[in-house]
A and B are shown apart, each in its own frame.
Chain A
Amino acid sequence: GDSVTQMEGPVTLSEEAFLTINCTYTATGYPSLFWYVQYPGEGLQLLLKATKADDKGSNKGFEATYRKETTSFHLEKGSVQVSDSAVYFCALWDNYQLIWGAGTKLIIKP
């Protein structure tokens, strides 16, 4: 079946560093892809999405490009802030459900 694999965390960076969180997927067809973020004590919030190959989703300085050739949807941000500390989930839409990665905890130190 379909699956999502994310890099293991935690990822610890200094403020203003460049962020990449890797996400690869296995799916039949070309599913919509999502990044969700979970801040401490809060629920799952949609961060960005892409619905077809080569689409770039972006929000709050984060970007991810739907790469069909490498079946990837890596999350990037050019300059992270302490407030970006959270758990980030990559997910794909599988006809009737979201299939989730394990989540990557991001810790940003001032």
Chain B
Amino acid sequence: EPEVTQTPSHQVTQMGQEVILRCVPISNHLYFYWYRQILGQKVEFLVSFYNNEISEKSEIFDDQFSVERPDGSNFTLKIRSTKLEDSAMYFCASTTAYNQPQHFGDGTRLSIL
């Protein structure tokens, strides 16, 4: 069965550094998402992406965050200047249509020191 793949599985970064989290969605999917889960808290929506542009974003997704689909297969989340509170598990998801079940990757654990 096709899978969403995320790399790296664990990223350790110094505060203030830029970090890029990578995702390869399922190939025929059209809608892409990032969620995050801070340890001990609920999974939270960050952003959705369709037709090469952001379709929705939460208030968490401020100017420090950006997303890109640079080559038609990868879907990346960039955090420009990381803060301690960005430490979380970040999940990428994709789906064929906006109201269909989302398929998730295994997540990237981001640790900011």
Which A residues contact B (CB, under 8 angstroms)? 32, 34, 36, 41-46, 49, 89, 91, 93, 96-103
Contact = CB atoms under 8 A, between A and B. Distances in A.
Interface residues of B, number: 24
Contacts of A44: 43, 91, 93, 104, 107
B11 to A, nearest CB: 16
Q: Which of A32, A44, A49, A98 gathers the greatest number of chain B CB atoms within 10 Å?
A: A44
B96 interface: no
Nearest to A91: B43
A103 B89 CA distance: 14
The B interface, classified by DSSP as helix, strand, loop or mixed, is strand
A36 to B, nearest CB: 8
Interface of B: 4, 6, 33, 35, 41-45, 48, 55-56, 58, 91, 93, 98-99, 101-107
B106 A46 contact: no
Given A89-B43, A98-B43, 18 more contacts: A32-B99, A42-B106, A43-B104, A43-B107, A44-B93, A45-B104, A91-B43, A93-B99, A96-B55, A96-B56, A96-B98, A97-B48, A97-B58, A98-B35, A100-B42, A100-B43, A100-B44, A102-B41
Contact of A43 (B42, B44, B105): B105
A2 to B, nearest CB: 11
A103 B58 CA distance: 21
Contacts of B48: 96-97
Nearest to A101: B42
Contacts of B103: 46
A5 to B, nearest CB: 11
Nearest to B35: A98
Contact of A49 (B4, B98, B101): B101
Given A32-B99, A43-B91, A44-B91, A97 B45 contact: yes
Nearest to B46: A97
B102 A98 contact: yes
